[in-house]
Structure 1
Amino acid sequence: MMFQNTLVEGFIMNAKDLNYFHELVKQKNFSKVADYFHVSQPTISQAIKRLEDEFGSKLFDRDRSHGQLHVTVTGKQLDRHVLSILNELDVAQADIDRVHQNRIRFGLPPIIGNYLVPNFAPQLMNADILSLLDVVEYGSAQLLKMLRKGEIDMALLGSLTPLKELGIRTVQIGNYPLVIAASLENRQLQAIHDPIHFAQLRHERFIGFNKEFVHYTAFNELCRQTRVRPKVIYRGADIQIIKRLVQSNLGIAYLSTAAITDQDHLLQIPLLDVQQSLHCYCAVRESTILRPSEQKLWDIFAQDSSTNSAH
């Protein structure tokens, strides 16, 4: 217990030491690290000495004959924790800064942003929230990383499985099956009125998303489970382009029903062998104390979650 108290005090007093240490693990050169932080080389050496004394273990081995610096096993283990601590400090600073701001940095994947958010627009306008949103558009995986780092305040995320991420609080706002989308001009598929096996589509040309998107992962998992490898003629990030290509009967796509509207005039064919769904969530960091405007935004999604999940 005494060690823990000393460690906490040392951490508060020497947060810079952790930055010096982490950079030294990366560069393995005292002079380069000193230049990177614009400090003297003895400053870096003293910081490492303090950490080694604090933990009672050697963090680096110096091979003076070859002029090399090696990170010890202890050093590698400490660096994993230091990286987590430094990231948390960055998030803490971002959270403190945002307390005094009125804007909400809001992450939106393209499909969720284009097709689900409009359902909430009247409520967002009535609550005077819509005008406060600074929208950041990326795929769900990238937005989750940004949320963890404190680069955005809140996000809507898509996931193929129930979203249970350490340090992330969520409320589910929808659950949308993935289906085969095809043109009405596709005569072979137009004649199908029941769910089919994916193997029946092995000779079809596919149009899909690039690797930033949940749909890319879903399609790969579908191929893995069925051991079918159809030809993919196009991958992109724009859902409108993907749907236009499908409408033109240049290929078919594996899409969430969240992305398909009546105006698209596309066939929607469920699969028998693999059933996947796009689970949609509103997410914030568990450490975040929501500002009044953010609480309103969270409550809007939380209150409507049951009705939107019934899709």
Structure 2
Amino acid sequence: MNDAYCVNCRLNEQSTIIINKWDHHNYDVSILLHLPTNNSISYSRSTEQNPLKKISHSMAGFFSLLRRLYLSIYNWTVFFGWSQVLYHVLITLKESGHENVYNAAEKPLLFAQTAAVLEILHGLVGLVRSPVSATLPQIGSRLYLTWGILWSFPETRNHVLVTSLLISWSITEIIRYSFFGFKEAFGFAPSWLLWLRYSTFLLLYPTGISSEVGLIYIALPFIKASEKYCIRMPNKWNFSFDYFYAAIVVLGIYVPGSPHMYTYMLAQRKKALSKSKRE
């Protein structure tokens, strides 16, 4: 009886001591000790599951199912958005050239890339295990290109780098969101998809980053000439902001940031592929 402890002790009408206790399996164990009437002691045990524990397990299972359902819908929805981006890019590239690629893919691009903001929230509330410190820079830079450059400065949209950017982004995200979609919906992902998830970035990350840097650089004269998003002195906040110099700072961040992120992804690739071999 060393694995349990007494939490309640009472005497009933039949002169029987009833001891209620919890054992290490979280079961309610009732031990009935009958007072000796003829120099003998007898006892019996009855076991029933703790109702609070059952409710707790049921709630945990419900919320786990709800989480998987939500993340499945989210991942497959954004997967569809990026599939639309790639489809419109390839069709337009074939039919009318790279100058019209952005206009054809703009709506699904804005939808799919903006939806990625939820990934930061997922990390913050613990829905996923991805560290926010790794997710935030990636999503932040893409949102900046999508809204702060391409959407804000139409002069950049007909450049060939828009095509290389959208192809790199869309292929990467189609693979990534389908991978997580399989994981959440079915509990596993095919081995070939795992390999693509952790291998295609070897080519697509350099092409994507090069396109991002090139488009920011191309946008600089248009940013400076338009003075869009600039705040000039004097004003009631006694504060000034120049979007042109902010863009230069962003370009500067790419210099140390890109190699760091690439190294991080290489480490993730080695970890994920070695784990899949062991399994």
TM range (shorter): under 0.3
For normalisation by structure 1, the TM-score amounts to 0.25
- Structure with greater helix share of residues: 2
- Structure with greater strand share of residues: 1
Greater Rg, structure 1 or structure 2? 2
For normalisation by structure 2, the TM-score amounts to 0.27
The higher relative CO (CA closer than 8 Å, separation ≥ 6) is in 1
